[in-house]
Chain A
Amino acid sequence: MNFEKEGYDLVTGFFFALTFVGLTLIVCPQIVVLVTSFNSTPELAFPPKGLSLNWYRHMMEREAFLHGMKLSLLLATLATVASLVIAFLFSLAVVRYKFFGKDLINALILSPLIIPEVVSGLALLYIFNRLQLYNTTVNLLILHVLLTLPYSVRVISATLYRFDVSLEEAALSLGADRLRTFALITVPLIRPGLISAGVFSFVVSFNNFTATMFIVTRQTTLPVEVFSYIRTENDPTVAAISSVFVILTILLILVNKKRIGARRFVGR
């Protein structure tokens, strides 16, 4: 709709006002964070008393953040790969075959979206302790794959539903074997789905805090490290970290605007 052409009315005017409130609530804190990160004094004063890059340096020098970052990156990478593989196989079964209990299993695999993170975190913590599984990385990986699967399954099955099976059949009838058909026909055709599922799984895993907090031990992830820093220290180091990530995210989105397609994840 072109508002300029058709003129404004009360409803759209009201809508613009409300949207403005919402966007203000999102954008303003981020601007405050960005400005605060250049503050020269440790107190969280706004506007800043002087400019410096102290907090960026502090962020790089603090070992705990580096270790947290390493674990977060490792986890997010492993969880994304595992989630994509499991979700692809699962979606293939759901989309192309009929089997007993299909609807139930499909609902269960999506259920981490509804089960509160404190609950799933606590349940896994309890079972890991009971079974005496104390490898933090593996435990976190299990949790993160569970949490990312709903997103991957949703996106990949949606892609597979639109997939024209006759293309695969054509390749097979022309003499390609199953593996070749899979590599040269199936994967390229579902690649957009795999990419957006991958991006989201990575982000969900990398940012996950609440459930992760139950499972971490001495080894922590970046969000957990940031959280405890906010609670114990009172200087703008977190503002620096946050600014770096927001700028990276903006760049990532501007580069891949077409490919990500966030709406696929939250709608029906």
Chain B
Amino acid sequence: MRQKFPYALILPGVALLAFFFSAMWALFVISFCKADDLGFISYAFTFSQYQKFFTDPFYLAYLTRSLHVSFLSTLAVLVIGYPAAYLMVRSTSTIRVFIMVILLVHFLSSYVMRMYGIMLFIGNNGIINRFFEYSGLLESPIKMMYSELGVGIGLATGSLAFMVFSVSSVLEGIDWKVEEAALSLGATRKRVFFEIILPLSLPGVASGFIISLLYNLSSFVTPTLLGGGSFDMVSNFIYEQAIELLNYPFASSGAFVLLFISLFIVFLTNKVSEHMIKGVPK
């Protein structure tokens, strides 16, 4: 069926994309400009915004904090999310529906409200500290809010569903006869898992890792509510510079640093997972 291509079909989508990417381009251009104290942008090609971001330890710390906490929380999400996905795919219908419904409710509810729940849960007056207080296990409350730990817990909870759904969608496509075959040939369950199932599910792990990491890296709600100013991340930097200080060039340099790191993470994860998958015999 070879017809003349009806351009009208893609026109609305392409128009929207054109608008969006011209906005991105305009923002990219001003990241090489200068702004005076009143926010007026003077057009000059300079790397000074990026230079300031990377050389001033105060600004660079936004980035290192973001990378550190988002990597750790994404690893935690992987360790917790993989088993949840595995059980969701392989369990009897009751456990499966149970896990599925909990994750779906979580996934569909507002991120802001979820973080509010975490605040009530881990705060100094939160239920965890109350529990320790009543049981007499600890004398003073554990300070989880307003620290990296609290932000990490928030990020991990916030991105768990992405990981579980990514991994489970790949696990569902696995032909589980390979497991039976390996078992009947005398392999132990542990060996079957680590040498067959885990390698086969790597594409899901890779995409879950990318989605969760990018989501955590650029989080604004979590550091603001759970970090309370003492653990600001790159998004806080961008927001402050743009909205509060009206320094668009500096804000956009931070934005493009964040964007390029995100793209690099996608690229790197895909390369690593391709490499690992190549080693798996078909």
Interface residues of A (CB under 8 A from B): 1-4, 9-12, 14-16, 18-19, 21-23, 25-30, 32-33, 36, 43-46, 85-87, 89-90, 92-93, 96-99, 105, 108-109, 112-120, 122-127, 130, 142, 145-146, 149, 203, 206-207, 209-210, 213-214, 223, 226-227, 230-231, 238-239, 241-242, 245-246, 249-250, 252-254, 257, 260, 262-268
The CA of A87 and the CA of B153, in the complex, are separated in Å by: 36
**Interface pairs A-B: 4 shortest CB-CB:** A267-B169, A29-B117, A116-B218, A15-B83
Across the interface, B127 reaches (CB within 8 A) one of A21, A28, A207, A223, namely A28
The segment from B16-24, B51-59, B140-148, B274-282 that touches chain A is B16-24
The CA of A36 and the CA of B21, in the complex, are separated in Å by: 45
| 227-273 of chain B: CB within 8 A of chain A | 234-235, 238-239, 242-243, 248, 251-252, 255-256, 258-259, 262-263, 266
**Residues of B contacting A2 with CB < 8 Å?**
92
Cβ distance B263 to chain A, nearest Cβ, rounded Å: 7
Q: Does the CB pair A14–B83 fall under 8 Å?
A: yes
Q: Does the CB pair A22–B127 fall under 8 Å?
A: no
The CA of A116 and the CA of B157, in the complex, are separated in Å by: 19
Give the size category of B's interface with A: 35 or more
**Residues of B contacting A265 with CB < 8 Å?**
165
Across the interface, A238 reaches (CB within 8 A) one of B105, B116, B214, namely B116
Q: Does the CB pair A209–B110 fall under 8 Å?
A: yes
Interface residues of B (CB under 8 A from A): 1, 3, 5-6, 8-10, 12-14, 16-17, 19-24, 26-27, 30, 79-81, 83-84, 86-87, 90-92, 97, 99, 101-114, 116-121, 123, 125-127, 130, 153, 156-157, 160-162, 164-166, 168-170, 172, 176, 189-190, 193, 203-204, 207-208, 211, 214, 217-221, 224-225, 234-235, 238-239, 242-243, 248, 251-252, 255-256, 258-259, 262-263, 266
Across the interface, A127 reaches (CB within 8 A) one of B26, B153, B165, namely B26
Across the interface, A253 reaches (CB within 8 A) one of B22, B90, B108, B111, namely B108
Cβ distance A4 to chain B, nearest Cβ, rounded Å: 8
Q: Does the CB pair A263–B83 fall under 8 Å?
A: no
Q: Does the CB pair A227–B112 fall under 8 Å?
A: yes
B3, B105, B176, B266, most chain A CB atoms within 10 A? B105
Q: Does the CB pair A122–B242 fall under 8 Å?
A: yes
Q: Does the CB pair A268–B220 fall under 8 Å?
A: no
The CA of A21 and the CA of B16, in the complex, are separated in Å by: 42
